[in-house]
Each structure stands twice: as C-alpha cells, then as structure tokens.
Amino acid sequence: MEPPASTEPDRGMSLPASLTNAFARVAERTPDAVFVEFEGTKVTYREMSDRSTRGAGALVGWGVRPGDRVALFMENSPRFIEAYLAVLWTGAVAVPINTRYRFAELAHVVGDADVRLVLVDEEGSADHDVSMAAARLGVPVVPLQGEGEGVDAWRNAFGAHDATIDVVPRSHGELAVIMYTSGTTGRSRGAMLSHGNFLTNVRAVTGAWGWTARDRLLLTLPLFHMHGLGVGLHGTIYQGSSMTLCRAFEEQAVFDELLAGHTTMFFGVPTMFGRLLQEARRREETPPPIRLLVSGSAPLGPDLLEDVERVLGSRILERYGMTESVMNLGNPLKGERRPGSVGLPFDGVAVRIADSTTDELVVRGRTGEIQLRGPNVFAGYWRDDEATSAAFARDGWFKTGDLGYVDEDGYHHLVGRSKELIISGGFNVYPREVEEVLERHASVLEAAVLGVRDADLGERVVAVVVPRDAGASADVLIEHCRARIAGFKRPRHVHFVASLPRNALGKVQKHVLREQLATERPPIDSQDPPA
Ligand code: MLC
Ligand code: AMP
C-alpha cells in the first residue's frame, strides 16, 4: 500500500522572511479579524500589531538591541503574545520560560541565556523565585501587567516612552527563540531556533492539517513550550486564523467551550484528552464534532484514541515533535490515522532509522533511533558545543534519542527512548536532575529516579532512595524537591531500599527497580525507610 500523502499542496503562499513578517502580512490583509479571544475579551490583528510594536518601542528604550535575549516568564494571555511579538519586532531573541520553574532552574536559564531583561506578568511579578534569580544575576525584571489597557501598562512601565519603532528585519537564518529543554546532565540547555526553522515547519504543518483563516483553535497548552508556541500560536499567525486562548487547561471549561460549538481545532497532550473523556462521561453530553483534534508531546494510547472517537465523535490526529525540531511527523488528515503510530514525515522533514551508537541505517522494519534532517532542525544548543556535537551524527543528522521503526506502509512507530527521559503529563523530566536534588538532602545517601506508568499522566515520577539514617521521610523529601524544582518534577512517591541494584560496571539497573516496583509485593518498602 502506498502511504497516503501527508500534506496537501501548498496553497501558493510565499514564505515570509520572518515570523514578524508573517504576522504583519496577516495584520495588513485582515486587520479587523479576531486574533485572540481571552476570558471574554477579543483582540484583533490590528490591535495586536499596535500593542506589540509599541511594546517593541518600550523594549528599545530599555536598551534591547537586535540579537539580545529577552526572557518571558508569563502565563498564557494576550500579554504573552504581545511581549513575544514585541521582542521579535526589535530583532531580539525570545527566551520563553516555564512558569513552574523554581529558583535554581530560573537562575540557570537567565544566566545561561545571558538575558537583558525578564518580562513578567502579574503572577510573575509576585514570584520571589524569579525576582531572586534575576537579582542575583543583576538582570532587571519588568512587569508588563497593570491596570488598564496593555498599551498603557507598557507605556507606564517605561515612563514617557510611547513611540513605535522601525521594525528590525530578520531573515530565515537568524535566531527567533532560545527554548530551554532538559538535558541528560540534569541542566537544561537552550535550543536555538531560527525564523526559518519555525516558518518552514509551520507552513508544512498548517498545509497538512488543512488549516485556514476560518479555523478557530482552542488553545490551553502553555505558550512557553513548543507545542503551544510553535504549533498553536505560530499556526494561527501563519494562517491568520483565530484562537480562544485559556490561561491553563481545565477540563470543565474546555468542555463548555467545545459545547458552545465555535471550536474547529483543539490541540493537547494525552493527559488532557483523558481528562476530557472523563468529563464527557460525567456529563453524559457530547459536543458537536470538531474538525481537528491533535495529540502530541507524549505517547497516545490506542485505547484513548478509540475512546475519544467513540465519545467525542472525532478521531485524534497524533503527531510527534520536539523542541529541537518543532514538528517531525504526523498522521494524515485524510488518510488512515493509525493507532499507536506517529504517522509520516511533514513536508521538508527527512527521517531515517539508525543505530544510535554507530548512526548506521538499520534494516527497514527494525527498531533504531529516529534521526532527522531538514529546515526545521535547530542550529544547536546555545553556547554549548559539547551538547551540540553530541546531538548530531557525523553526517549532520539530528539524533532525537527516540527509538522507533517504520512499518510496511511507511507509518512510523515510537517504541521507546535511548535518552533517560520521563514524560509526565506532557512535561519532560530528566531523572538525573531530580536525583541530584534528592542527593543534596542530608538524609539521602543515594537516589534513583524513574518513571512508572500512570493512567492520568502517562508516566509518574517515582524515587527510590537509600537513606543515610532512619530520619529520612518521604514527605520531607517530596517537600525538599517541591521547594527546589518545578512541581511536575517532584516524585509522587518515595520508596526506601537498603541498596540500589547495580550492574558489573556499577550503573544503577533501573529496569530491575521498575520490575520490583511493578510486582505486587516489591522487595522495596513503600513510603518509609527501613527500620
Ligand atoms: C501539573 N502537575 C503535574 C503536572 N502538571 N505533575 C506531574 N506532571 C504534570 N504534567 C502537578 C503540579 O505540580 C501540582 O502539584 C498539581 O499537579 C496541580 O497543578 P495544576 O497546575 O493545577 O496542574 P494541572 O492543571 O492538572 O496540569 C496538568 C496539565 C499540565 C496536563 C494540564 O501538566 C500541562 O499543561 N501539560 C502540557 C505540557 C506541554 O505543553 N507540553 C508540551 C512540551 S513541547 P503540586 O503538588 O506540585 O502542587 C513537546 C514537543 C511536542 O513536548 O512534541 O509537542
Ligand atoms: P520536548 O523535549 O519537550 O520537546 O519533548 C520532545 C519529546 O517528546 C520527544 O523527543 C518524544 O520523546 C516526545 N514526544 C513528542 N510527541 C510524541 C508522541 N506523539 N508520542 C510519543 N512521544 C512523543
């Protein structure tokens, strides 16, 4: 069988030189179209253009120059988008930061990206961790939220400055965003993404999904990560469509919005679909079928796909992406959406399956590392040549660290990861980072952190700890983590053992721990240290 085409023909739109050009093109063409609806307020393309260019004027007044990095520590709201576009108008590079990050994580990102400013919203300005992290590095924190209209708040924040600026042109090769993503060493690294990475990919993705200006996206994903930003926001801008933006995902509110019948597209992580399904069952109501449901960022169980189709009347399109390469593969809009498969490469993305050590191609049908090449693939990690060279094979292909195979019809299947990564509710957690935090606690001799299956989150973070003394307690260790790292990284359970299983080389055998935890009577104690 021939694989169905993964994309529709390009509808003849020329590719703009930059994300801001893409936005300007739409704002000029349909200035009065609604761009974002948020908590009952509508913002048109013209209004967003006006506010963001004024914001850019303020940024220039604050000393931001082309190429500078500007951090955004903000929850979803039109203000985020305004700030993001403002940064891009000045020719600077946006550094979106997960608002769940705590002091050490924030200090690392702000310092590593060497940002000129940290822009925050109302919640961010009350967040001590971000203000302390920035203060330690001597970086100003600028609150963009206040009373009244956005323009006023921006202007007030910068005293008398009210001028719009001459937009700084950018081209495909220039950086638009540095997005931090966790690394195996326990420290996050900045993936450098250019205007061209985003634009070539968003053209392919929106083409493949039949996305037009008539679409209305319901977006509850955080804008500070790739799924929300690189697909949700950029796709809306690229097609000149509109979105209903939510501060966060909340299943009752999302369900109400779907019932209202305006939404044509909803993008989420599998946890969101699982919760929506429960909500639908609880209410015994069915919203009208939605043109396009997309799931990604974590594996979608075939049962969830089938259940959602049965209950919500729309079959999810599963796709596979990554911070370093935006969107890689997806099931087709019109052909078969195969359960358990992430589908076919998006236009322009070349995919090969190779041995993760030698980078040699493996026989078709066999499992190997998914490796990528194409205009979507990032330029490398910011100021980290070592991590960059480790991420690419010698012949230039990007090593995703995901393991998969291609079936006889050309559909790709992800079966695991060569990188030690836990994906919990669509957020990534690298075990080493959590282990290091645990091992800094006086009562911990050593710790092993792993992901175990979880019906809601897909995987849940669990720690196995060798205590130094009898004073260790699970609650204390969980609190210790909560204070130091983002809440989604903290272990849900702590198990205590006398020693960790190791192989002949001294490496902790996590698969043994996983098996022990999965058995009904694990040889490891649950929440309390051994007497
Ligand atoms: C929240 N909590 C989590 C969690 N999210 N715990 C584990 N895993 C998670 N994902 C914890 C909080 O720390 C807190 O606990 C408690 O849950 C309640 O917090 P909340 O803010 O009310 O959570 P909730 O609204 O339930 O969040 C669940 C969620 C969220 C699924 C809506 O996790 C989410 O938005 N996930 C999407 C992430 C995403 O966008 N990923 C894309 C990455 S880009 P406590 O006890 O600590 O207070 C990418 C590339 C690609 O991967 O392919 O797309
Ligand atoms: P991030 O580093 O946050 O961008 O997460 C990227 C990782 O999410 C990928 O390397 C995959 O491991 C995982 N991922 C994304 N989409 C899917 C999917 N549809 N199925 C399984 N894993 C996915």
Unique residue bearing structure tokens 């030690």? 420
Q: Whose CA is nearest to atom 49 of ligand 1?
A: 297
Mean pLDDT of the chain: 92
* Structural domains of the chain sorted by starting position, each given as residue range(s) with its CATH number in brackets: 46-145 (3.40.50.980), 422-525 (3.30.300.30)
Residues 453-469 have a mean pLDDT of: 95
Model confidence at 409: pLDDT above 60: yes
As given in the structure block, the two tokens for residue 334 are: 């019109």
pLDDT at 156: 59
Percent of the chain with pLDDT over 70: 91
Q: Whose CA is nearest to atom 52 of ligand 1?
A: 297
Percent of the chain with pLDDT over 90: 84
Q: Whose CA is nearest to atom 9 of ligand 2?
A: 322
Query: What is the Cβ-side half-sphere exposure of residue 473, based on CA atoms within 13 angstroms?
Result: 4
| Residue 297 Cβ contacting ligand 2 at under 6 Å | yes
Looking only at the bridges linking them, the beta strands covering 326-330 and 317-322 are antiparallel
Helix axes of 128-137 and 103-113: crossing angle, nearest 10 degrees: 40
Cα separation, 131 vs 417, whole angstroms: 36
CA of 322 to the centre of ligand 2 (A): 6
Residue 330 C-alpha from the chain's centroid: 17
Model confidence at 520: pLDDT above 90: no
Q: Which ligand is nearest to the CA of 434?
A: 1
| Residue 229 Cβ contacting ligand 1 at under 6 Å | no
Q: Which ligand is nearest to the CA of 492?
A: 1
Neighbours of 107 (CB within 10 A): 19
CA of 427 to the centre of ligand 1 (A): 6
Model confidence at 11: pLDDT above 70: no
Q: 228 to each of 97, 124, 180, 199, 477, how far by Cα in Å? A: 13, 19, 14, 15, 32
Burial class (CB in 10 A: 0-12, 13-18, 19+), 443: middle
Q: 517 to each of 367, 415, 474, how far by Cα in Å? A: 27, 21, 16
Cα separation, 206 vs 236, whole angstroms: 9
Model confidence at 198: pLDDT above 90: yes
Comparison of pLDDT for 2 and 27, the residue scoring more: 27
- Residue 142: φ, ψ to 5°: -115, 110
Please write the tens of the pLDDT for every residue from 77-122: 999 999 999 999 999 999 999 999 999 999 999 999 999 999 999 9
Please write the tens of the pLDDT for every residue from 223-264: 999 999 999 999 999 999 999 999 999 999 999 999 999 999
Residue type, 470: A
Residues 443-463 have a mean pLDDT of: 96
Atom of ligand 1 nearest to the CA of 429: 8
| Residue 192 Cβ contacting ligand 2 at under 6 Å | no
Cα separation, 123 vs 142, whole angstroms: 12
pLDDT at 229: 98
pLDDT at 7: 37
Q: Which ligand is nearest to the CA of 319?
A: 2
As given in the structure block, the two tokens for residue 344 are: 């076919």
Contact 257, 210 (CB under 8 A): no
Model confidence at 331: pLDDT above 80: yes
What letter would DSSP give residue 300? P
pLDDT band at 160; cut points 50, 70, 90: very low
As given in the structure block, the two tokens for residue 188 are: 């996050």
